[in-house]
Amino acid sequence: MAKLSKRHKHFQELLNGVQQPLTAKEGFSTLKKALELAKFDETVETHIRLGINVKHADQQVRSTVVLPEGTGKTVRVAVLAKGEKVKEARDAGADFAGSEDLVEKMDKENWLDFDVLIATPDAMGLLGKMGKVLGPKGLMPNPKTGTVTFDVAQAIKEVKAGKVEFRADKQGIVHTSIGKGRFTEDQLLKNFSTLYDAILRAKPSAAKGTYVKSVYVTSTMGPSLKLDTGRLTSEIRDYLAV
């Protein structure tokens, strides 16, 4: 029998006698205790299974939300634009900005050293051949996520402030990062509540039956904790950004 690590023993002791599902407050309190022995600043995530059939176009769940406490990550933003919009992007804090030169760098050098790509509508045509590369990595600009816009300054500001995209995968599960292990319990609760509220608001009108099937919170190497979906809607109100 394999010997348990110090951290796994810590998990066992922490979860011994804990009755799941937990309230959100109990869940994040337990997760913070589990992170006490973390060797690096782990990412905190939530995984929400929805009662939707993603095979139907009218049951897709995809949108964005700005987390009030940010993501805890330094987000590298690239902007593809034309003319004066390139300078506007740089002045607004874009890490990279360009036009044909930016696409050529991506194409010939396999350069993708950015986390978010914003494009002006008139520059989208330049990305034609890059779709098969950017698409699978989730980097293709999309009007639905606010990354295709002429207002590049506002888009950059939102991304840098903690704007994240959420979308249901083929199994109807939304996987989203909501902060870092160094965040306080209250910061994590605020971010989670804001995301959860946004997912509730994004419910497709065609979705029938129970919309939220299950909710789990975890960290990169931490335990997976199940939350009580029956109590979440009322519980998150105390943490929603005003």
Per-residue pLDDT tens digits for 142-188: 998 899 999 999 999 999 999 999 999 999 999 999 999 999 999 99
Domain boundary (160, 191, 215) is at 160
**Cα gap 95→81, rounded to integer Å:** 14
Residue span of the structural domain in which 168 resides:
19-71+163-239
Domain boundary (145, 160, 175) is at 160
**Cα gap 131→76, rounded to integer Å:** 20
Q: Quick check: is 122 in a domain?
A: yes
Specify the range with the lowest mean pLDDT, choosing from 6-20, 58-72, 212-226: 6-20
In total, how many domains does the chain have?
2
- What order of strands is seen across the sheet that includes strand 43-50? 173-180, 43-50, 212-219, 225-227
pLDDT digits (tens, 9 = 90+) for 116-128: 999 999 999 999 8
Residue 28 sits in the same domain as residue 133: no
Backbone angles phi, psi at 176, to 5 degrees: -140, 140
Residue 183 sits in the same domain as residue 133: no
CA 22, distance to chain mean position in Å, is 22
At residue 3, the pLDDT reads 60
Domain boundary (104, 138, 160) is at 160
Q: Quick check: is 39 in a domain?
A: yes
Q: Which residues pair with 218 in a beta bridge?
A: 45
Q: Quick check: is 12 in a domain?
A: no
Using the structure block, give the residue that is written with the tokens 């740089």: 90
pLDDT digits (tens, 9 = 90+) for 181-197: 999 999 999 999 999 99
At residue 1, the pLDDT reads 47
Average pLDDT, integer, range 199-225: 95
CA-to-CA dists, residue 46 to 193, 209, 222, angstroms: 11, 22, 12
pTM for this entry: 0.86
Q: Quick check: is 9 in a domain?
A: no
